[in-house]
Amino acid sequence: MKNKNGIIYIGILAVGILFGWLLFGGASTTETTHNHSETTEKSQMWTCSMHPQIMQPEAGDCPICGMDLIPAESSAEGLMADQFKLTKNAMALANILTSTVGEGKMANSTIKLSGKIVENEEANTVQVSYFSGRIERLNISFTGEKIRKGQLLASIYSPELYAAQQELITAKSLKETQPELYNAVRNKLKIWKLSEKQINQIETSGKVKENIPIYATVSGTVSEKLVAEGDYIKQGQPLLKIANLSTVWANFDVYENQINQFKKGQDISITTNSNKELKAKVAFIDPVLDTKTRTVKLRVVLNNRENVFKPGMFVEGKITESISNKKEVVSIPSSAVLWTGKRSVVYLKSNPKEPIFEMRKITLGAKIGDNYQVLEGLSNGDEIVTNGTFTVDAAAQLQSKKSMMNTAGGKTTTGHEGHLDMEGATSTKKEVYLNINERMKVSKDFQKQLKTVFNAYIKLKDALVKEDSKNVIAASKKLLDNLSKVDMTLLKDKEVHNHWMSLEKELKVAGNSILNTSKIKEQRTDFKILSSYLTNAIEVFGINEKVYHQFCPMADSNKGAYWLSKEEKVMNPYFGEAMLTCGEVKQVIE
């Protein structure tokens, strides 16, 4: 009886469990399936096959061409529309580094300035002749010769001074009867800067001197000879320029956005190329901005009694900028920033564990040392690319993501659709950036041939630095000649071959544009385009040499421009002597 009751109870319990599962488990499964479907539906984006930059949350027509939208491919890795991923191999190959943005009290930073030693204009003098005549003897042999006050500089024959000496000898006999006449003759000789001793000697000897000596009125160094022996000179004509180099000026260029960081009396440390260092103070800041270079002159007066500083010498100035402890700022390294006209962008690492990136527009403040203040666009804790930024941008462009040159996403300037952000640009030429997730494998012979093109490019760059238009043309001709000798049969892979074909075509167009103009301004415009394509070629194929990718934000009417160099030291081809050191290394291509 008990066994029968137990069996009955077990049966009832089993039926109850089955019923509960059917009632609640099935509903749960249905609900889960429904929610999953609903979530999938909500996350589905729609795009246009002709205009992939279009992303809509619902199906419909393309707002550009009217075609039916199609479901956008969802990333298996869960990436957002503007995100893209690099391989770990590409990260290592391009030396891409990231760092975390820090927000807080900014420590004192050092601002570096490039300057040049010039003569102290306040200590410069001009030795002039106080009477007309002919230079019989010039005792100054060469420019740079040191002279002292009272030193004999020249001997001059002067007809009018010869006559005045005869008048003095005659007036001496009338000294008692006509003292006014006598004094007038002596004063005439004094006006011509003859000393009392010279006048008394003429009067005592009773002999007229044919050649009158000229003595230095100051001590210093002859910076320029303005006459030669045998020259006829007029009264007041300059003979020599004399510089007193016991003190010199160090003139530094301060950019427009840095002006408010400097003031008169500020401490500054000056260092020469020979590592000689001394402390000084800012003596003067030019109140007028140079409209060509967009800079003002900051002047420092240096003691040069040991003759350490030579006019024309380049020096570096360092000023410690003290930031108020109450002021909280976000700062990032300058190497993280890409300039595109009026905008600045950085690349944000979206996932701390994966190499996933996306472009971020930012607003920059003042530059402090090697860092920029960020006013908008970034916050504490953001991780951004600080080395290899240009490489990451190249990868973004080929993957049709938002990038420096393509703010709307979609295809780039290789003939596909997309929006090219060239704010303020007037040139119709467009720059192409290729994806280099993996450096393409090519033979060493091909790399050597590409290197000859690069060597000609360096000569072209150096000619632009010197503003030598004729050598620019000669170097561009050599570049085109070397380019024509590159053997494309060395490229066995079809994709590699096509990459080089597209680059070679654009390199020839840019090179011929430089070759066909003698105007340095137009040559520099075409050089910017040439640099863009050659940079891509070197990044993609390599030349087995370290190359410095440099950038000047003020080039091309403040739109900024890149160039390549074999040296880390900046020698700006877009400004030459006017702003020789303007720019910085943005990337090192190993």
Do the domain assignments include residue 77? no
Buried b (16+ CB within 10 A) or exposed e, 395-417: bbbbbbbbbbbbbebbbbeeeeb
Closest to 400 in 3D by CA, of 447, 426, 433, 361:
433
Contact 282, 265 (CB under 8 A): yes
d(CA 200, CA 188): 14
Positive/negative CA dihedral, 580, 584, 587, 590: positive
Q: What is the pLDDT of residue 185?
A: 84
* Last residue in a domain, options 243, 270, 288: 243
CATH assignment of the domain containing 386:
2.40.420.20
**DSSP string of 285-318?**
E-SS-BTTTTEEEEEEEEE-TT----TT-EEEEE
| Residue-wise DSSP of 247-300 | EEEEEEEEEGGGGGG--TT-EEEEEETT--EEEEEEEEE-SS-BTTTTEEEEEE
* Amino acid, res. 526: D
Are 551 and 445 within one domain? yes
**Inside any domain, residue 423:** no
* Residue 348 placed within a domain: yes
Residue 203 identity: E
Could you give the CA distance from residue 563 to residue 322 in angstroms, rounded to a whole number? 33
Domain check: are 219 and 260 in the same one?
no
Q: Are residues 463 and 572 in the same domain?
A: yes
* Domain end (from 296, 321, 346): 321
* pLDDT tens-place values along the chain, 590 residues long: 545 555 666 666 565 665 555 444 444 444 444 444 444 444 567 766 555 556 677 888 877 666 677 666 544 456 777 788 887 777 776 678 888 887 444 445 677 888 899 998 888 888 888 888 999 999 888 888 889 988 888 988 888 888 888 888 888 878 777 888 888 888 888 888 788 888 888 888 888 888 888 888 888 889 889 999 999 989 888 999 998 888 999 999 888 777 888 889 999 999 887 778 889 999 999 999 888 777 899 999 998 888 888 888 888 888 876 554 444 567 888 778 876 545 688 999 888 788 888 888 888 776 666 677 788 888 878 889 888 787 787 777 656 677 765 665 554 333 333 333 333 333 333 333 333 334 577 889 999 999 999 999 999 999 999 999 999 999 999 999 999 999 888 887 766 776 787 778 889 988 999 989 889 999 998 999 899 889 888 887 888 899 999 988 888 877 778 899 999 899 999 998 888 888 888 888 87
Q: Is residue 315 part of a domain?
A: yes
The pLDDT of residue 433: 35
d(CA 276, CA 269): 10
Domain match, 446 and 577 both: yes
Would you say residue 434 lies in a domain? no
pLDDT of residue 292: 78
Same domain, yes or no, for 291 and 212? no
- Domain annotation covers residue 298: yes
What distance in Å separates the CA atoms of residue 523 and residue 476, rounded to the nearest whole number? Answer: 10
- State the Cα–Cα distance between residues 515 and 193, nearest whole angstrom: 60
Q: What are phi and psi of 161, to 5 degrees?
A: -75, -30
3-class DSSP state of 13: helix
Is there a single domain that holds both residue 116 and residue 166? no
CATH of the domain at 271: 2.40.30.170
pLDDT at 209: 84
**Are the CB atoms for 588 and 549 separated by under 8 Å?**
yes
Assigned token pair, 447: 């790399």
Residue 79 lies in a domain: no
Any idea what DSSP says for residue 61? B
Residue 262 CA to residue 239 CA, distance in Å, equals 40
Domains in the chain, number: 5
For residue 175, give both structure tokens.
Answer: 């000294």
Same domain, yes or no: 56 and 189: no
pTM of the model: 0.43
pLDDT at 11: 63
| Shared-domain flag, residues 130 and 230 | yes
pLDDT value of position 381: 83
Residues 166 and 190 in one domain: yes
Rounded to whole angstroms, the Cα distance separating 419 from 410 reads 8
In 3-state terms, what secondary structure has residue 98? strand
The answer to whether 296 and 304 are in contact (CB under 8 A) is no
Query: Which residue, of 286, 321, 356, is where some domain finishes?
Result: 321
Q: What is the DSSP letter of 23?
A: I
Of 313, 296, 276, residue with least CA distance to 116: 313
Matching residue, tokens 């300039």? 339
Q: Do 113 and 261 fall into the same domain?
A: yes
Residue 206 lies in a domain: yes
Distance from C-alpha of 510 to C-alpha of 533, rounded to nearest angstrom: 9
Which residue from 242, 210, 234, 233 is spatially nearest to 140, judged by alpha carbons?
Answer: 242
How many CA atoms within 13 Å lie on the side-chain side of 331?
A: 18
Give the pair of three-digit tokens for residue 495: 């994709």
Q: What CATH number should be reported for the domain holding residue 217?
A: 2.40.50.100
Residue 149's contacts (CB-CB under 8 Å, 6 or more residues apart) are 216, 217, 218, 219
Residues 37 and 9 in one domain: yes
Report the run of H or E that residue 150 belongs to, with start and end. Answer: none
- Domain residue limits at 260: 109-121+245-321
Same domain, 303 and 366: no
